[in-house]
Amino acid sequence: MNGISRRGLLKTGVAAGVLGLTGMPLRAQTRGGKLTAGMGGANTSDSWDGRTHSDIFMIASAHGTVFDCLTEVGADGTLKGELAESWEASADAKTWTFNLRKGVTFHNGKSFGADDVIASLNMHTEEGAKSAAKPIVSAISEMNKITDHQIQFVLAAGNADFPYLMSDYHILMFPDGMIEEAIQKGIGTGLYAVESFDPGVRMVAKRVPNHYKGDSAGFFDEIEYIAINDNTARMNALMTGQVDAINRIDFKTEGLLKANPAVRIQEVTGNQHYSFPMLTDVAPFDQVHVRQALKYGINRQEMVDKILLGHGQVGNDTPIGPANQYYAADMEQLSYDPDKAAFHLKQAGLDSLDIDLSASNAAFEGAVDAAQLFQASAAGSGININVIQEPADGYWSNVWNAKPFCACYWSGRATEDWMFSTAYEAGVPWNDSNWDHPRFQELLLTARAELDSDKRSEQYGEMQQILRDEGGVLIPMFANYVQAVNNRISSPDTVGNLWQMDNARMAERWSVA
Amino acid sequence: MDNVLSIILQRLALGLLTLLIVSVVIFTAVNLLPGDFAESILGQGATPEAVKSIREDLGLDQGPVTRYLSWLSGMLTGDLGTSFAQLMFQTNMGGAGDVTVVDQIAPRLSNTLFLAGVTAMIAVPIAVTLGVLAALYRNTVFDRAANVMTLSSISSPEFFMAYILILVLAVLNPILPSLSNIYDGMSFSERLEKTLLPALTLTLVVTAHMMRMTRAAIINLLASPYIEMARLKGMSPMRVIVKHALPNALAPIINVIALNLAYLVTGVVVVEVVFVYPGIGQLFVDSVKIRDIPVVQACCLIFAAAYILLNLTADVLSILSNPRLRHPK
């Protein structure tokens, strides 16, 4: 299986179906039993409408349990087919042909085909729909049903990542003609069918007997997800054995969990990062040397140690993390150097620099403390940071993207292009540094349509280098996903790092020990 | 009896007025909070266009007075409206599904009432018995112990008592579940078992007040001449207290019990969060977080109504328990 690299899969996913079906079992997994997980991130307003999903409870329930997407990102980061068996691109990456899996049925018995794909995708662009996946779907200019199980997408512009984007947790496959009913009852093609769902309280699902994923996935008979938004209550539930797994461990009580022999902690570094964006078209941040002075004036390791209590990794001012395909792991790490910071300040023609940094814990837990650490570490180089504590309410509308220098967080994106085009492409609404760099922009557009992965690797490498050297966003740290599981449940050695709880797919991948 | 009836009617009218004032206060308070539903639901995605589009959909772009009046007119016709979160969801779905605030609150309220009921079943008998016994054996070791214990439990924050109980009854001695996630279709005994820990926590919180009041009211009466008479007749102390003192002490006791029952409905927010109990308190907190005004308003009205009705009940019962008030000259 080593012959199939993740990059090789991009252009032609023919082997993906085989991969997905065999699943490379490393050890025999026990079938049967029940998984009970307690998760934060639940809301009373939750529903089965994939367009509205934004937090782990519904992502794990829908994307990871009851519904399927066309493609799936494996725990090791490879792209596999889920409802699509294989796919092929034209040379300009504009036209994509997807072959759909045959013999798949929804939980209500309806069989799955090309019409369902078209209807499900149209949900995101229909009048009045507020879908987070709208930009992805509106990039498709034409959807042509070739046969019941083959569909062709024509994109407005070439995008080599298109199959990746089809694995997004918002883009779930619903049955055509009964979408409203499916949203109300939760009718998907997933491994488990909904038994009961009480928004913001609880979700129970039972294994579908003859599922297309067969014996390679979905080992439990029953799944129960309990909404526990309170950190302490979640931990109590795990410690007293009422749930088998919990997400978002409170680092302060991690020691207690570690002391419990029946519980193990899973920790992965993904793309989730905390940042300090500055508006690069506002003085003094329009000067590259000022930005470089700040890059050397921030003590990244100290932030990982004190803000994340060690549960993270230092960032290199690029939003591309270890869960990305073209992550430049070998790029030289920026480190704290007060002399270099002072040097760049001189180069900018300044003896000292007085700037305001707006922060609130709404940006990320500990943002105000992080800003104060920054203040202390930069002071030695003549950079005087005035930390302004902003109210948490309205932070994203009044401070972020409005004040010239503030704190922010990003959960990251599965592909480089997705991340860059969300927050680093010139002119997009979430470009929180008003980043407009001609070379970067050129590379962004070229790499997007490039199918040759060696070339893409080079292009994305250069883009990360540009951001590291000149970029307007300080990214001092990548925060880990930390979760805990008890020993009743066995989980594979490789746990997904795109999203919490094994990419939200524990119902599919874990089993009773 | 006419007298009692007119008092009830008068009180109900006043209660309605209070509810009206409460609704104005809540509406103003929620509007004073920074940020609104559109901003909080969009979070990082709060671009000016997106915020504007949601505000227009929900009518948040209109002035506060207009919004309040339209809410009020809806409520007067018995329509508490639809939560913003649900409205968002419905516009997404093209108008299908109509879950109103009432549909959302009803199951949560019944859960909260269940918890309050279980707590009252445990707390009221314990508190009154302890109060009577403390009055009977006043200034003894028993009296002091009962006082110290109940007072220290009321003096500790609720979440602290909750965690102590979880530690003792769920972690160290796994007798009761620390998670009270009750749901439809659970058997009554299962439901009761899951509710027990939060109910015990609330019992610890409300017992002291009721017990102290019972004790004080009885001791207050023990100095009266008619109690002395009863004693001189040779009655046992227990009989003196239960038969002679207690009936006359009922009014203040009923008052304090009613007040505490109202607290059980309105003050359970923290306990519900700690035990993940799906009651109205959690719904309330969630709704305040996202500024979902229709739900916040409805919850507050329920809380206020609970207070008003229980206070009214207390007053009526204390009038009925007091012959002098029942037959005024």
Whether the Cβ atoms of residue B322 and residue B32 lie closer than 8 Å to each other: no
Pairing of strands A245-246, A473-486: antiparallel
- Residue A75 domain flag: yes
Q: Looking at the structure, do residues B140 and B259 belong to the same domain, yes or no?
A: yes
Query: If you measure CA to CA, which chain B residue comes closest to A197?
Result: B183
Q: Looking at the structure, do residues B156 and B280 belong to the same domain, yes or no?
A: yes
Query: If you measure CA to CA, which chain B residue comes closest to A126?
Result: B92
Read off the tokens for A196: 């009961």
Pick from B181, B184, B282 the residue to mutate for testing the A interface (most A CBs within 10 Å). Answer: B181
B273 and A240 within 8 Å at the Cβ level: the answer is: no
- Residue A330 domain flag: yes
Of residues B33, B166, B287, nearest to A236 (C-beta): B166
Give the distance from residue A258's alpha carbon to the nearest chain B alpha carbon, in angstroms: 16
Which one is predicted more confidently, A17 or A394? A394
Q: Looking at the structure, do residues A229 and A356 belong to the same domain, yes or no?
A: no
- Residue A168 domain flag: yes
The pLDDT assigned to B6 comes to 84
Give A24's pLDDT tier (boundaries 50, 70, 90). Answer: very low
Please compute the mean of the pLDDT values over residues A90-99 and round it to a whole number: 93
Partners of B110 on chain A (C-beta within 8 Å) are none
Which one is predicted more confidently, A176 or A13? A176
| Domain ranges, residue A387 | 270-480
Of residues A129, A237, A394, nearest to B92 (C-beta): A129
Interatomic CA distance for residues B80 and A159, integer angstroms: 48
B94 and A128 within 8 Å at the Cβ level: the answer is: yes
Residue B68: is its pLDDT beyond 80? yes
The pLDDT assigned to B82 comes to 76
Q: Looking at the structure, do residues B42 and B67 belong to the same domain, yes or no?
A: yes
The pLDDT assigned to A396 comes to 80
The pLDDT assigned to A11 comes to 45
The pLDDT assigned to B302 comes to 87
Q: Looking at the structure, do residues A67 and A182 belong to the same domain, yes or no?
A: yes
Q: Looking at the structure, do residues A234 and A341 belong to the same domain, yes or no?
A: no
Range with lowest mean pLDDT among A407-421, A489-503, B25-39: B25-39
Q: Looking at the structure, do residues A446 and A491 belong to the same domain, yes or no?
A: no
| Domain ranges, residue B306 | 1-99+291-329
Whether A256 has its CB under 8 Å from any CB of chain B: the answer is no
Q: Looking at the structure, do residues A153 and A82 belong to the same domain, yes or no?
A: yes
- Residue A307 domain flag: yes
The pLDDT assigned to B46 comes to 66
DSSP B44: G
Q: Looking at the structure, do residues B165 and B210 belong to the same domain, yes or no?
A: yes
Whether A391 has its CB under 8 Å from any CB of chain B: the answer is yes
Q: Tell me the CATH number at A279.
A: 3.10.105.10
The pLDDT assigned to B328 comes to 65
- Residue B174 domain flag: yes
Residue A464: is its pLDDT beyond 90? yes
Q: What is the pLDDT of residues B157-167, one digit of tens each?
A: 888 999 999 98
| Dihedral over Cα of A16, A22, A26, A28: its sign | positive
Range with lowest mean pLDDT among A63-72, A407-416, B34-43: B34-43
Q: What is the pLDDT of residues A111-129, one digit of tens each?
A: 999 999 999 999 988 877 7
Give A7's pLDDT tier (boundaries 50, 70, 90). Answer: very low
3-state secondary structure A192-205: EEEEEEECCCEEEE
Q: Looking at the structure, do residues B12 and B128 belong to the same domain, yes or no?
A: no
Q: What is the pLDDT of residues A339-353, one digit of tens each?
A: 999 999 999 998 889
Q: Looking at the structure, do residues A245 and A121 belong to the same domain, yes or no?
A: yes
Partners of A226 on chain B (C-beta within 8 Å) are 179, 181, 276
A226 and B276 within 8 Å at the Cβ level: the answer is: yes
Calculate the average pLDDT of chain B: 84
Please compute the mean of the pLDDT values over residues A92-105 and round it to a whole number: 93
What is the pTM for the complete model shown?
0.84
Whether B54 has its CB under 8 Å from any CB of chain A: the answer is yes
Reported as half-sphere exposure (CB side, CA atoms, 13 A), residue B62 has a value of 10
Whether the Cβ atoms of residue A165 and residue A136 lie closer than 8 Å to each other: yes
The pLDDT assigned to B92 comes to 55
A49 and B92 within 8 Å at the Cβ level: the answer is: yes
The pLDDT assigned to B47 comes to 67
The pLDDT assigned to A27 comes to 55
Q: What is the pLDDT of residues B281-300, one digit of tens each?
A: 888 888 887 788 888 888 88
A198 and B184 within 8 Å at the Cβ level: the answer is: yes
Please compute the mean of the pLDDT values over residues A396-420 and round it to a whole number: 88
Q: Looking at the structure, do residues B208 and B248 belong to the same domain, yes or no?
A: yes
Please compute the mean of the pLDDT values over residues B248-264 and round it to a whole number: 87
Q: What is this model's ipTM?
A: 0.80
Range with lowest mean pLDDT among A132-136, B6-10, B92-96: B92-96
Residue B80: is its pLDDT beyond 80? no
The identity of residue B309, as a single letter, is L
Give B97's pLDDT tier (boundaries 50, 70, 90). Answer: low
- Residue B187 domain flag: yes
| Dihedral over Cα of A287, A290, A295, A298: its sign | negative
Query: If you measure CA to CA, which chain A residue comes closest to B278?
Result: A201
Q: Looking at the structure, do residues A136 and A186 belong to the same domain, yes or no?
A: yes
Q: What is the pLDDT of residues A290-307, one digit of tens each?
A: 999 999 999 999 999 999
Q: Return the biggest CA–CA distance within chain A.
A: 72
The pLDDT assigned to B95 comes to 45
Partners of B278 on chain A (C-beta within 8 Å) are 198, 200-201
Partners of B40 on chain A (C-beta within 8 Å) are 393
To which H or E segment does residue A265 belong? strand A263-277
Tokens 């609130």 locate to A360
Please compute the mean of the pLDDT values over residues A43-60 and round it to a whole number: 86
Of residues A45, A180, A183, nearest to B86 (C-beta): A45
Q: Tell me the CATH number at A499.
A: 3.40.190.10
- Residue A348 domain flag: yes
The pLDDT assigned to A15 comes to 39
Pick from B108, B112, B178 the residue to mutate for testing the A interface (most A CBs within 10 Å). Answer: B178
- Residue B145 domain flag: yes
Beta strand segments in A83-139, E? 84-89, 95-100
The pLDDT assigned to B89 comes to 61
Chain A and chain B share a number of CB contacts under 8 A equal to 128
Whether A49 has its CB under 8 Å from any CB of chain B: the answer is yes
Please compute the mean of the pLDDT values over residues A469-473 and round it to a whole number: 93
Q: Looking at the structure, do residues A183 and A324 belong to the same domain, yes or no?
A: no
Q: Looking at the structure, do residues A113 and A32 belong to the same domain, yes or no?
A: yes
Residue B171: is its pLDDT beyond 80? yes
Residue A397: is its pLDDT beyond 80? no
Give the distance from residue B46's alpha carbon to the nearest chain A alpha carbon, in angstroms: 6
Whether B193 has its CB under 8 Å from any CB of chain A: the answer is no
Please compute the mean of the pLDDT values over residues A396-400 and round it to a whole number: 83
The pLDDT assigned to B1 comes to 59
- Residue B75 domain flag: yes
Give A1's pLDDT tier (boundaries 50, 70, 90). Answer: very low
Residue B94: is its pLDDT beyond 70? no
Chain A contacts in chain B segment 230-269 (CB below 8 A):
none
Q: Looking at the structure, do residues B153 and B207 belong to the same domain, yes or no?
A: yes
3-state secondary structure A330-377: CCCCCCCCHHHHHHHHHHCCCCCEEEEEEECCCCCCCHHHHHHHHHHH
Q: Roughly what angle, to the nearest 10 degrees, separates helices B188-222 and B101-136?
A: 40
Which one is predicted more confidently, A272 or A131? A272
- Residue A203 domain flag: yes
- Residue B106 domain flag: no
Please compute the mean of the pLDDT values over residues A66-75 and round it to a whole number: 93
- Residue B107 domain flag: no
Query: How many domains is chain B partitioned into structurally?
Result: 2
Query: How many domains is chain A partitioned into structurally?
Result: 2
Q: Tell me the CATH number at B269.
A: 1.10.3720.10
- Residue B267 domain flag: yes
Partners of B274 on chain A (C-beta within 8 Å) are 230, 232-233
Please compute the mean of the pLDDT values over residues B189-193 and round it to a whole number: 90
Please compute the mean of the pLDDT values over residues A445-464 and round it to a whole number: 92
Q: Looking at the structure, do residues A124 and A246 belong to the same domain, yes or no?
A: yes
The pLDDT assigned to A219 comes to 93
Residue B154: is its pLDDT beyond 50? yes
Q: Looking at the structure, do residues A185 and A133 belong to the same domain, yes or no?
A: yes
The pLDDT assigned to B49 comes to 72
Residue B205: is its pLDDT beyond 70? yes
Whether the Cβ atoms of residue A238 and residue A486 lie closer than 8 Å to each other: yes
Q: Looking at the structure, do residues B152 and B170 belong to the same domain, yes or no?
A: yes
Of residues B89, B177, B184, nearest to A242 (C-beta): B177
Q: Looking at the structure, do residues B122 and B226 belong to the same domain, yes or no?
A: yes
Pairing of strands A84-89, A202-207: unpaired
Q: Looking at the structure, do residues A178 and A90 belong to the same domain, yes or no?
A: yes
Range with lowest mean pLDDT among A252-256, A299-303, A314-318, B222-226: A252-256
Whether B46 has its CB under 8 Å from any CB of chain A: the answer is yes
Q: Looking at the structure, do residues B39 and B54 belong to the same domain, yes or no?
A: yes
B96 and A184 within 8 Å at the Cβ level: the answer is: yes
Interatomic CA distance for residues B305 and B302, integer angstroms: 5
- Residue B104 domain flag: no
CB atoms within 10 A of CB B272: 24
Q: What is the pLDDT of residues A350-377, one digit of tens each?
A: 888 999 999 998 888 889 999 999 999 9
Q: What is the pLDDT of residues A311-336, one digit of tens each?
A: 999 999 999 998 888 999 889 999 99
B179 and A243 within 8 Å at the Cβ level: the answer is: yes
Quick one: how far is CA A450 from the chain centroid?
22
Calculate the average pLDDT of chain A: 88
Query: If you measure CA to CA, which chain B residue comes closest to A429?
Result: B47
Whether the Cβ atoms of residue A101 and residue A81 lie closer than 8 Å to each other: yes
Whether A84 has its CB under 8 Å from any CB of chain B: the answer is no
Range with lowest mean pLDDT among A70-74, A367-371, A386-390, B92-96: B92-96
Beta strand segments in chain B, E? none
Q: Looking at the structure, do residues B7 and B81 belong to the same domain, yes or no?
A: yes
Whether A233 has its CB under 8 Å from any CB of chain B: the answer is yes
Residue A8: is its pLDDT beyond 60? no
Give the distance from residue B202's alpha carbon to the nearest chain A alpha carbon, in angstroms: 17
Q: Looking at the structure, do residues B265 and B126 belong to the same domain, yes or no?
A: yes
Whether A183 has its CB under 8 Å from any CB of chain B: the answer is yes
The pLDDT assigned to A162 comes to 93
